[in-house]
Amino acid sequence: MSQFLNDFVVGIDVSSEFSLVAMLAPNGELIRKPFRIDHNPAGFHKLLDILKKEEERLKRKPIYFVESTGIFHLPLFFFLRSNDLKGFVLNPLCVHSTKNFDLRKVKNDKKDAEAIARLAKYQDVKVSMVPEPQILALRMMTREYYALSDMLTEMKNRLCTDLYLLFPGFLNAFSGTLGKTALAVLKSYPSPRAIQKADLETLTLLISKTSRKSSAWASNKVKQLQECAQLASSMPQEFSLLDAKIKVHIDGIENMQTSLNGIEAQIHTMIESDQFPASARRNIELLDEIPGIGFLTAATLIAEIGDFTLFKSPKAFTAFFGIDPSVNQSGKFNGDRNKISKRGTRFGRRVLFTAAMASIRTTRKGEEINPVMRDFYTSKCVNKKKKVALVAVMHKLLHYIFAVLRDQKSFEIRKPEDHQSWRTTKLQPVAA
């Protein structure tokens, strides 16, 4: 049974420029036809005035429900909350599941607003809580960071495509594809002809200084670049007009990298400010201590999690990230090719994948980042595909994160047998 069965419930179907509102009285009757409000000061105050009048008439404070629509529902949500009204956010998957309740094939915004209100009033649906403004701002900043990071990767890929055509062999001259040294060379010498005309000492010094390696190593790279430039001279002369594309991509990559550095600095500033919740800052510090998880990953995870106290078990925590298995069972049939549900936060799942990859790798010196996790991954790879084993690592890492945040204790690497011995000692009854 819904906890809002006897309440004055308001369902709001949100779009980018306007919303449709449906109101249900405590007895379940539709108070008036669903009406439209525009997303501007006049529209917001119109809704507030209507809700206040109905509150006085019904002697009940309204509780409003909105469907999560990315960012479009936030201005109205925070406006109503700032006027002492209680509200909740519904998962779109829950809202869409009600579309077949009515046999008639009718779908419009008015029906959607009423469906949201009736879903909240009569169904025991799980509601989402909007996090504190500081956490929400951090979430937006971290998501923007990864969005720009994707754009940077796309721009580098386009530059690689041009180099394959205009400067064959350039990418093979450096170990890191479009690393710091390669970009420095392209910025000063953005075409094969520029390499051919370059002063050898100046080019050698640039490569040696940027890569922090010996002059002999840099001289060898200069020879490779000259050979590549000679090869490129066999390309049609008309292709030289495309050299400008390399300059455009280099400038774009530099600007994008500057923006990424600025966002990362802003994230640090936000977390270190006095207005940022101390508990969230402490949680970021705890996650940062886990091998394979860096500061930015920790900040992203905490921003996506929001209020950790809402998670009562590791299973619920795992489901939030969409790592829980989907189940396919009917009658005597039990599906054995189940995949992860992917119904949680995709941004959190992305950084979790990165953290899992980092936790099972080794350093250049051959040292394991997390020996226990790497052994676990290796054992799973014996009879599982690598991606399946990696999902198991993500699942295990989530349990680590849950335990660290629940106990508010720093992470310690323990082998399974040591952990079992520790649990046995801890749970051993004390003699009277």
**Beta-ladder partners of 408:** none
Q: Which runs of consecutive H residues, i.e. helices, occur in 198-242?
A: 200-211, 215-232
Q: Which of 100-104, 127-131, 208-212 has the highest mean pLDDT?
A: 208-212
How far from 161 is each of 30, 155, 169, CA to CA, in Å? 60, 10, 12
> How confident is residue 431, by pLDDT bands cut at 50, 70 and 90?
very low
Mean pLDDT of 312-331: 84
Residue 70 predicted with pLDDT over 60: yes
Residue 71 predicted with pLDDT over 70: yes
State the burial class of residue 29 (Cβ atoms within 10 Å of its Cβ: 0-12, 13-18, 19+): exposed
pLDDT at 281: 95
Write the single-letter amino acid at 389. A
Tens digit of pLDDT for each residue in 225-240?
999 888 888 777 777 7
Mean pLDDT of 357-363: 92
Lowest mean pLDDT among 90-99, 138-147, 153-162, 261-270: 90-99
Beta strands in 8-104 (DSSP E): 8-14, 18-24, 35-38, 62-67, 86-90
Question: How many angstroms separate the CA atoms of 142 and 157, rounded?
Answer: 23
Tens digit of pLDDT for each residue in 134-158?
999 999 999 999 999 999 999 999 9
Which DSSP state fits 70?
T
Closest CA to 69 of 43, 36, 92: 92
CB count, 10 Å around CB of 247? 13
Residue 103 predicted with pLDDT over 60: no
Q: Across the chain, what does the average pLDDT equal?
A: 88
Helix (H) or strand (E) holding 184: helix 180-188
Residue 429 predicted with pLDDT over 70: no
According to CATH, the superfamily of the domain at 8-130 is ATPase, nucleotide binding domain (3.30.420.40)
pLDDT at 289: 94
Tens digit of pLDDT for each residue in 40-69?
999 999 999 999 999 999 999 999 999 888
Tens digit of pLDDT for each residue in 112-134?
888 899 988 888 887 777 888 89
Residue 430 predicted with pLDDT over 60: no
Residue 283 predicted with pLDDT over 70: yes
pTM exceeds 0.75: yes
Phi/psi at 65 (nearest 5 deg)? -130, 130
